Structure 1
Amino acid sequence: MKCVRVLLPLLARDSYGDPLALGQAWGLRRTFSCAQTPNMCLSRGFRTSMRKPTSKPAPTKREEEAQPNPKSLVTFEDPFKRFDQDCRNKATFSHVLNVFCKKDVRRRGHVEFIYAALQKMPEFGVERDLRVYNALLDIFPKEVFVPQNSIQRMFNHYPRQQECGVQVLEQMERYGILPDAETKFLLLQIFGQKSHPFLKYRRMMYWFPKFKNINPYPVPYPLPCDPVDIAKLSLQRISADLDARITVYQMPSVEEKTRITHPYIVGIQSPDQQSLLQKHSPDRPVYVEGPFPLWLKKTCVYYYLLRAELLPPGEKEEEEDIDPERNFYFPMQLDLDLERDLGDDDSFDVNEVEEGPVFAMCMVGSEDQATLAQWIRGLQETNPILGHIPVVFRLESGPLKIQAETEMEETYEEEALQSQKLKQ
């Protein structure tokens, strides 16, 4: 027995160079104590084996940056980036969706791909296409994320996929796209009836028809391409009087001989504004002010005003008091002292800002004083008093004028440099 105890350490040292190597070689489990092995002070036993450790050391920061992240969106944005700006349309977008669906039957990475597709939809011009949204929902695997029992429904079965489906419906809501029967069938087939995307669908179908025609002054989509039609639509939205008439003083044209372009001039004026302008004193000037911006969805247009300054307090005309019996809108007036509680005080502070009267509005194709002066000449046909009233132009630097001024400054600098070279 003593010989065996002596031979075991010797064999281990000769073959493996370590007393523990023999146990590793034979798969034996031994417990060493501090008394038996004075060079090794182990407080507890451990198991050894012949298998080498499979765990790899943690990668450094440089290695992490060099290796591509499989969870990132870079791999899914590449198919959309391959197409040039001219080729980005509905056909190419649908082609990318079909390629992804045929690439893998299990549709791995479909959540990241759908998020990337939602971001690229405005660039391809398909953000208002219902068929494209249904094609995006069709990418989800079918009958996989449907909860099978009440516990799965309670704990939000597959939350990442459900959140992605809700994002698709929210983008449809943002662009005003109403789901159809195909959208409902896809949501039921993918997520089931007791899911967050289907609940979002039901809410959209309830509120969308109620709010669809709630705007009394809707903006047509798409907007007309003709600038004259856009000007007419904009002036109708600005004017608060339904009796206001729109007049086209000049249509855009180009002379063949001189190649001179004539911009469009569209104005609007109501009968009440004409009567106010007729009562205006010829001693006081009127002002042409602008340009003022107006947004129609994503299109910005500019308009101009013909207005006058506010009269001083001493020169204001006192309005005639109309007898309540002769008033058409309020034929009777009742002054009753009703008992009111202390908490029924409905009075509140209002800061009323008085402004001068506005006589007319217009939109022009060229933002310069000559075009606006032509508009004033056109107004004189229906308002002859404008021939006796001085007109002052208060024009601010619009976007077109800023570009023109920068171009003029560049030409002046080039001329100055050329003159200096000639002098030298």
Structure 2
Amino acid sequence: MNGTRCLLRVQNLWVLSTSAHQYAALLQSMPAAVLPKAPVQYDTHRKALRQFHGGPAHPQGPGPPGDSEGRRDVGDGRSVVTQDDLFERVARDAKTKATFSKVVDVFLKRDKRRRGHVEFIYAALKKMPEFGVERDLAVYNKLLDVFPKEVFVPRNYIQRMFNHYPRQQECGVQLLEQMETYGIMPNVETKVLLVQIFGEKGHPMRKYQRLMYWFPKFKHLNPFPVPRQLTTDPVDLARFSLARIAGDLDAKATVFQMPYTDITESGEEITVPYIVGIQSPDQMELLAKHNPSKPVFMEGPFPLWLRTTCVYYYILRADPLPLEEKMEEPYDPERCFDYPLQLNLELERDLGDEEDFDVDRVDEGPVFAMCMTSQGDQATLNQWLSGLQQSNPMLGRVPTLFRLDAGPRELQRSDGGGSRPHRETPEPEPEPEPEREDIEEERRQSRGMKQ
């Protein structure tokens, strides 16, 4: 019985296509005066078939024209506004969570069938950082509610196997991936919406299950967490950043200079930068043992990212120590009887183990101190060295060389949250060339060492 129905359907389609070809051939054979006056052009066989199957064509041509503002005319005086224009129109005054929700409500009320919901969700995900709702779970659930319910749910295993409605499923996965990027944990409402929209076996539902499995595992895994809301005070932010870089509980952060605004005698307004430094007792001990004949170097700026905020710091370091100075002092075996200070274990090695390791070892010099400042020129860093010299008298006898790069002028935020001014680092002054006698003396010393 089913085979008979399929045969009848094929015959009907063949008759319909044959009638269409006969109708097109009849129109071409008729003279122009006999043809009816209609807005349809019968110059080609394709347009005749389109007229036969789809009704009259649009009087303005195959596609609606667009204007300079990105709108498309639909023929009756109305215009289709793009999704980006919808956000700009509704949220003209202030970009807040209330205006973002208002844009979503306007889209839901504009069309009951919610045509163009995929493009709207993509545009909303792109605009969320501008409205400051990229970390709001309720807004993500409201965007999921834009999808039509029980339309994209696969009805059998074949639809599930062939990725039923792939465009809508990719959009749902993209929404969950943005939640993952900002560290937003889905809730029960998110799961209910995904089941209503894509079913139990859809790709967005699988993405939700992965998030719920991995997020609790990695939530408190970082032993050095960064607070979600960073302080806006630059001095406190510098203290937190330096303590995070140092990694030593005994390191002490010192504020050498607070920022303030001063007015000179000529009436010019000058902004004095802040200077915050950090140094541990071990670094003070290394600096006290430094050879006064060898210089120390001031290098920077080096970037440090704290979530979406980038700060810069400077270091005071020296050249790598020679091999003779790296040798540790001999330990006293009777200093501790409970725990041995050194173990000489001869472990059995396998035949496949290699004796030599192919590792590029880079010898780095000791770091004596670090600092952060809002104006990293040589004069400001000299003020930091002057304050550091009070607790490290060795700096008064050691020459200091500056190796400063042209740092960025502003601290940018990756999420579009604004920026605050930074300093402009001048080019380092060229070092004076050594005299001829010094060069000859160095050559003699190097020849003696080779011999």
TM-score greater than 0.5 by the shorter chain: yes
Q: TM-score, normalised by structure 2?
A: 0.69
Residue 53 of structure 1: CA displacement? 5.3
> What are the residue-to-residue correspondences of 1:4-403 with 2, within 5 Å?
66=65, 68=72, 75-82=82-89, 87-255=94-262, 259-311=269-321, 316=325, 318-322=327-331, 326=335, 330-331=340-341, 333-336=343-346, 338=348, 340-345=349-354, 347-400=356-409
Matches of 2:322 and 2:158 in 1, distance apart? Answer: 76
> How has the CA–CA distance of structure 1 residues 157 and 53 changed in structure 2, closer, same or farther, with 3 Å as cutoff?
closer
Matches of 2:93 and 2:286 in 1, distance apart? Answer: 53
Matches of 1:403 and 1:86 in 2, distance apart? Answer: 35
Mapped contact 1:253–1:263 kept (Cα < 8 A) = yes
Residue 317 of structure 1: CA displacement? 5.9
Q: Which amino acid aligns with 1:82?
A: R
Q: Does the residue aligned with 2:316 lie in a helix, a strand or coil?
A: strand
Deviations 1:31-81 (A, max 9, x none): xxxxxxxxxxxxxxxxxx9xx85789999xx976946599xx972222023
Matches of 1:402 and 1:224 in 2, distance apart? Answer: 20
Matches of 1:153 and 1:55 in 2, distance apart? Answer: 32
Residue 197 of structure 1: CA displacement? 1.3
Q: Does the residue aligned with 1:399 lie in a helix, a strand or coil?
A: coil
Q: Does the residue aligned with 1:349 lie in a helix, a strand or coil?
A: coil
> How has the CA–CA distance of structure 1 residues 102 and 285 changed in structure 2, closer, same or farther, with 3 Å as cutoff?
same
Matches of 1:244 and 1:273 in 2, distance apart? Answer: 9
Matches of 1:64 and 1:325 in 2, distance apart? Answer: 93
Q: Which amino acid aligns with 1:122?
A: P
Segments of structure 1 that go 5 or more residues without pairing to the other structure are: 1-17, 26-48, 407-424
Deviations 1:398-423 (A, max 9, x none): 224986879xxxxxxxxxxxxxxxxx
Deviations 1:379-409 (A, max 9, x none): 1221122223233333222224986879xxx
1:417 corresponds to which residue? Answer: none
2:8 corresponds to which residue? Answer: none
Q: Does the residue aligned with 2:134 lie in a helix, a strand or coil?
A: coil
Residue 172 of structure 1: CA displacement? 0.6
Q: Which has the larger radius of gyration?
A: 1
Segments of structure 2 that go 5 or more residues without pairing to the other structure are: 1-26, 35-47, 67-71, 75-79, 410-421, 428-451
Q: Which amino acid aligns with 1:95?
A: K
Q: Does the residue aligned with 1:342 lie in a helix, a strand or coil?
A: coil
> How has the CA–CA distance of structure 1 residues 224 and 107 changed in structure 2, closer, same or farther, with 3 Å as cutoff?
same
Matches of 1:224 and 1:118 in 2, distance apart? Answer: 27
Alignment RMSD: 3.6
> How has the CA–CA distance of structure 1 residues 58 and 322 changed in structure 2, closer, same or farther, with 3 Å as cutoff?
farther
> How has the CA–CA distance of structure 1 residues 295 and 329 changed in structure 2, closer, same or farther, with 3 Å as cutoff?
farther
Mapped contact 2:374–2:423 kept (Cα < 8 A) = no
Matches of 1:307 and 1:378 in 2, distance apart? Answer: 17
Q: Following TM superposition, where does structure 1 have runs of at least 4 consecutive aligned residues deviating by more than 6 angstroms? A: 54-59
Residue 281 of structure 1: CA displacement? 2.5
Q: Which amino acid aligns with 2:297?
A: Y
Mapped contact 2:376–2:425 kept (Cα < 8 A) = no
Mapped contact 1:325–1:332 kept (Cα < 8 A) = no
> How has the CA–CA distance of structure 1 residues 181 and 53 changed in structure 2, closer, same or farther, with 3 Å as cutoff?
closer
Deviations 1:232-267 (A, max 9, x none): 122122213232111111111223676442211100
2:418 corresponds to which residue? Answer: none
Q: TM-score, normalised by structure 1?
A: 0.73
Mapped contact 2:375–2:425 kept (Cα < 8 A) = no
Matches of 1:318 and 1:346 in 2, distance apart? Answer: 23
Matches of 1:318 and 1:345 in 2, distance apart? Answer: 26
> How has the CA–CA distance of structure 1 residues 53 and 336 changed in structure 2, closer, same or farther, with 3 Å as cutoff?
closer
Q: Does the residue aligned with 1:360 lie in a helix, a strand or coil?
A: strand
> How has the CA–CA distance of structure 1 residues 64 and 393 changed in structure 2, closer, same or farther, with 3 Å as cutoff?
same
Matches of 1:86 and 1:304 in 2, distance apart? Answer: 42
Residue 228 of structure 1: CA displacement? 0.9
Mapped contact 1:153–1:194 kept (Cα < 8 A) = yes
> How has the CA–CA distance of structure 1 residues 293 and 150 changed in structure 2, closer, same or farther, with 3 Å as cutoff?
closer
> How has the CA–CA distance of structure 1 residues 253 and 86 changed in structure 2, closer, same or farther, with 3 Å as cutoff?
farther
